Amino acid sequence: MLQPERRSHWDKLAANPAHAPNLMEEHLRRDAPHRGLSRLTTHAVQLGGATIPVGSTVRPLVGSANRDEAVFPDADTFVPGRSNIRKPLALGRGIHVCVGAHLARTEADVALGVLSSRLPNAQLERGFTALFSRS
């Protein structure tokens, strides 16, 4: 969240740690900790007019679903105030939710609150370049 284009988000968080949950949820949506998972079909499945035979490996791409423009307008933009902020699939849903999702969210909220209160003026080193980008 310290990227220059997100600086205003850090400043807002430093002023009010209550913004941490929305910032964390939007970060999970935009840059999910994993992009997909692998599954093996146990029976033939019809999907999009095609038949996926039994025993086939399929890879649902959660990262792609989190950027579905029909669900998240302007999906590539970091917008922590989205009305559907808890809709991403970053930590799963339903019976497939990550068992540590609540703990992960709680830890992130606490960490962001503490960091932003102790380091309100934190910034990236001049000339910093990320080793990789998920955008």
| pLDDT tens per residue across span 56-113 | 999 888 778 888 899 999 998 889 989 888 777 888 888 888 899 999 999 999 999 9
Amino acid at 19: H
**pLDDT cut 70: percent of the chain above it:** 92
- Which token pair is 128? 């910093």
In degrees to the nearest 10, what's the CA dihedral of 26, 27, 29, 32?
A: -170
Rounded to an integer, what distance in angstroms lies between the CA atom of residue 55 and that of residue 81? 42
The pLDDT assigned to 108 comes to: 93
The pLDDT assigned to 3 comes to: 55
Average pLDDT, the chain: 86
Single out the residue of 35, 11, 22, 9 nearest to residue 132, CA to CA.
35
Counts of helices then strands in the chain (DSSP H, E): 4, 4
